[in-house]
Amino acid sequence: MSVMRKCVCCGKEYEFCPSCKKKDQPAWMVSFCSETCKGLFNIVSAYNAKRIGKVAAQAYIAEHKITEVTKYTGPVKKALEEILAKPPVKEVPKVLPAVEPIKETPKEEIAEERKEDISEEANGKAPETPELTAVPSPVGVTTRPRPKRRRRR
């Protein structure tokens, strides 16, 4: 005995009998009229739950050639409009601010600096580093080992 069902995704009415012995009908046909509707509903659900991004959802929609948004039901339609919406274009100013050119250090200056560093190390001079000072320990403070814990019986 077939029962008329309404697709959750597109609203289309179709026949499906959950109690018949037709093994060729998959279980998801209780809610969806086609595999495309089932897949689209899963993609929209994943997008709304933020498990997939807009790009992945758009890729699925393009792969299945879904273009007509108006035939789908409320929540699916709203999500499809959001996924397929193009981001607003920001106006780019016509006059860009002036940017100073990058000064390049001549290779000769860099080579001279390296030679100076190498010669200082060879002469026994350590490179300039700030001196570290020791922190005085508090007077009269001693540490003792922790007492052993007793076992409960």
**CA 99 – CA 81 distance, rounded (Å):** 41
For residues 110-124, average pLDDT: 69
Distance linking the first and last C-alpha atoms of the chain: 70
Note the pLDDT of residue 85. 80
Q: Which of the two residues, 52 and 106, has the higher pLDDT score?
A: 52
pLDDT in tens, 69-99: 778 888 888 888 888 887 655 665 566 566 6
More confident residue, 67 or 144: 67
Prediction pTM value: 0.53
DSSP 30-95: GT-SSHHHHHHHHHHHHHHTTSS-HHHHHHHHHHTT----TTS-HHHHHHHHHHHPPPPPPPPPSS
Question: What pLDDT, on a 0 to 100 scale, did the predictor assign at position 115?
Answer: 74
Residues of the chain with pLDDT > 90: what percent?
0
pLDDT: is 29 or 110 the higher one?
29
More confident residue, 142 or 33: 33
Task: Name every residue whose Cβ is closer than 8 Å to that of residue 22 and which is 6 or more positions away in sequence.
Answer: none
8 A C-beta contact, residue 46 and residue 27: no
